[in-house]
Amino acid sequence: MFFHKNLPFPQTLPFDPGSPLRPFGPGVQKRRPSRRLKKKEKRGSESIDVVDPPSNKTDIANSPLASASSSGSKPSPGYSKPSPIATATAMILAENQIKQETMPENLQLSLDTPSTSAATLCALQSILLNKANNLIQQSKEQQREEETREVYSPSDEVFPVIGMTGGELLRHYVDELKRAMDRRRLMFTDTYMLAVMNDCGDVPFTNPNIAPPHTMGRQSVAQKFDHLLAFEYCKNTPGFDLLRDVERMIYFRLTAISFALLDIAWITAKTTSRNDERPVMVFTDGSVCTVNDYSFGWEDEITDKGLLLKKEHKIVYFNEFVTRLYRAVIIPFQEMHIEQVEYAALKALCILKLGYCEYSQNIRSLAKEQEKAILLGLNEYYEDRQDKPQRIGNLILFMGTIFEIIQLIIEQYKTAELFGLFNLDCISKTLLSV
């Protein structure tokens, strides 16, 4: 698109020096426009040469802009090599983008008429230049984002203390959960050979309707086994070997207290349904007790010390714990349809955050690093899910409720020891006295 030398105020029009849209005037060499594209309009004493933009790809290929940019020959005198802005401008014209996206209606109408004025052409040039600049800027920003994404991703960050990425740490805790479930299958079920032949990792108890009733004697055995699993969990925790003796004891105490409680909620949520006519709670040894009534798992029994433990005493001592755990944790687990990866992350976060008030600076720094890594691992796990913020938020909200119930279970252990309801092993007594 060229301006004739007789065009009024040609030198006052803003234009790009490298653009093919250059005015003719004093000191500027003329370039003859193509006869095929030349249209002449006479209005009064003025005459304006107007060149139509190329209407198709063939015209673009034959245009002076294409020949000057594609061929290796030197352009003719008076014509400079087109700049990126000029190239983008020509492409916009060729694809008729100007009429669809950037041109006002009054300007579009003026372009369709044979009486295109100088002011209209000036406005057209300004709009084209702005459009081209915006396209170039967007292209540069997109390229920078792609380069940044390729160079670094948060999921690739290796944390210095634990020597793992967030995804690797999360997989570690999932493996720990599977290992604990296989050991319970070996210890408390008839399908123990599945744990020997395969790494199942599933909840070992499948039918609570045929499970034995929960008793204090069974609770004593299951408690010792939970301490063994908590010991393995601690020894395999990344960074545990860097802790001092007192710090290791604190971490093991928190793990042992939390281990059985959280696994009871997980096992019950996966083996029962909220719509069951008679809801039950499944303990870590596979025994069960009813929740809404006291018809099963609350019977009278003789303790290890030879004392009679009546049903009424069990209700007084343990009903609050059972009801609170079922309503505040197990039912939300079922409604959320909590997954194995999510539970493994929640379990690790609860153990790490439970003892913040007792931690030294050394163990606190380890706990914070692991928390950050676990959350990054969850973010990677939820990468393509629309409900990612909601599920992560639910896991974080669970921790406050779980901390409250852990205090209940500590009181339960102290009550059991005080009244001789069941024998506490040496480890439990030591942990309660710390």
State the sign of the Cα–Cα–Cα–Cα dihedral 167, 387, 356, 416.
negative
Nearest to residue 247, comparing CAs of 363, 142, 331, 159? 363
CA distances from 220 to 205, 225, 227, 257 (A): 19, 9, 11, 14
CB-CB contact of 306 with 237 (8 Å): no
pLDDT reported for residue 97: 46
Q: Which residue has the tokens 């065009």?
A: 7
pTM attached to this predicted model: 0.64
pLDDT reported for residue 197: 85
pLDDT reported for residue 410: 80
Low-confidence ranges of the chain (pLDDT < 70): 1-121, 123, 145-155, 416-417, 419-423, 432-434
Nearest to residue 265, comparing CAs of 399, 102, 69? 399
pLDDT reported for residue 406: 87
pLDDT reported for residue 235: 95
> Per DSSP, what are the bridge partners of residue 282?
288
pLDDT reported for residue 252: 93
CB-CB contact of 204 with 188 (8 Å): yes
Q: What angle do CA 406, 250, 218 make, to 5 degrees?
A: 50
CB-CB contact of 170 with 344 (8 Å): yes
**Contacts of range 316-319, beta carbons closer than 8 Å, 24 or more positions apart:** 317/412, 317/415, 317/416, 317/419, 317/421, 318/412, 319/294
pLDDT reported for residue 55: 47
Helices (DSSP H) in 57-117: which residue ranges?
Answer: 57-62, 64-70, 84-94, 97, 105-111
Q: Tell me which of 1.25.40.80, 3.40.50.300, 1.10.565.10, 3.40.630.30 is the CATH number of domain 158-433.
A: 1.10.565.10
C-alpha to C-alpha distance for 257 and 357, rounded to whole angstroms: 16
Task: Indicate the domain borders of the chain.
Answer: 10-151, 158-433
For 244, the 3-state DSSP assignment is: coil
pLDDT reported for residue 184: 94
pLDDT reported for residue 199: 77
Q: Can you state the angle between helices 216-235 and 426-433, rounded to 10 degrees?
A: 70
C-alpha to C-alpha distance for 99 and 122, rounded to whole angstroms: 16
For 46, the 3-state DSSP assignment is: strand
CA distances from 347 to 311, 344, 379, 403 (A): 32, 5, 17, 12
pLDDT reported for residue 238: 94
With 0-12 CB in 10 A as exposed, 13-18 as middle and 19+ as buried, what is 383?
exposed
